[in-house]
Amino acid sequence: MPVPLSLRYNAPVCELSIPMNDWAKDRVVDPEPLVAMADEYRSPLVDPIGRKWWADGLPVSKTSLLVGEYADGGHGAMSVGKADFDRMIEEAGRGALVRVHAGGDGTVRAILDVYEQLRQLHPESMSQCQYIAHNFLVRDEDIPRFRRLNVVANFSPVIYYRSPELSFFEQAVGAETMKYFASIKKMIESGAHVYVGSDWPTGVMDANPLRELQVLVTRRNPYERNNDAPLGDTIGLEDAIRVMTLGGAYSMRKENEIGSLEKGKAADMVVLDRNLFEVDPSSIVDTKVVYTIFAGKIVHDANATGR
């Protein structure tokens, strides 16, 4: 029997984020015109409420700040400074949702410090779920701060399996720091709000949410069958579905409107050709979407002719 599964990817509101800086420093970024005209693009389907900063690059290229040292020395660096931190607090104080790319554990800690200052200066902002994107590395002692500060932890799980790229990652940061890689399970157990993003098209083949779901519960290569040991702690299927649905809704402050199949919420869902709780987790990616329902209407029918 097909099984309905509500996914963030079919949310009735698409949140847009305005780029506030350019971490690569290869072009001039002036966010002011976009910030000024953001409200012109707001609609029932689009909410340009996000403000996006790239606080660092990637640990594998030493463009992220680490708490410890890289394998060949040094701590790396961030691509933001006090002016950016002040602007983050300013935008959040205006009601915007601040979104920050942070890959290194040192960068994550620095951004949590900014959010700590935000909560002190604007106590009313505690109802706003600011977030940190990617969190490749997060020190154990910083994990409780996500819940305490109401900071949503975003993860991009489709790369969380043993691969040549992750081998380069470990070589760069060292085995000791690698212990803190992609700690999704610890973050969930801490009570923090977690959600999942594809990060497509950066470094991944597609944005297939079923592939991401499979990696969350197996931490193995989702592109080919293998017996590799999982890379890090897996999470249960129920938790994985929750972070991919309600987690995404919460990150947009839309948890009362979307993210689960409940009376009064938007009728957005997909119907799958199998019960995910009854299949081999390593075959989740083989699941087919039979129907996609958006705002109560079927917008995709796999059985329809001519489609």
Instruction: Answer whether residue 286 is part of any domain.
Output: no
Q: Characterize 219-232 residue by residue with b for buried, 16 or more Cβ atoms within 10 angstroms of its Cβ, and e for exposed.
A: bbbbeeeeeeeebb
Structural domain boundaries, residue 154: 11-258
Instruction: Answer whether residue 23 is part of any domain.
Output: yes
Instruction: Answer whether residue 164 is part of any domain.
Output: yes
Instruction: Answer whether residue 272 is part of any domain.
Output: no
pLDDT tens per residue, range 18-48 = 999 986 666 667 899 999 999 998 988 889 9
pLDDT tens per residue, range 263-286 = 889 889 999 999 999 999 999 999
| pLDDT of res. 27 | 67
Instruction: Answer whether residue 267 is part of any domain.
Output: no
Instruction: Answer whether residue 120 is part of any domain.
Output: yes
Integer-rounded Cα radius of gyration of the chain = 20
Which CATH number belongs to the domain containing residue 231 in this structure?
Answer: 3.20.20.140
Q: pTM for this one? A: 0.91
- Greatest Cα pair distance, the chain, in angstroms, is 60
pLDDT tens per residue, range 88-125 = 999 999 999 999 999 999 999 999 999 999 999 999 99
Residue 249: closest CA among 240, 260, 241, 238: 260
Contact (CB, 8 A) for 115 and 130: yes
Instruction: Answer whether residue 288 is part of any domain.
Output: no
Instruction: Answer whether residue 151 is part of any domain.
Output: yes
Number of domain units in the chain: 1
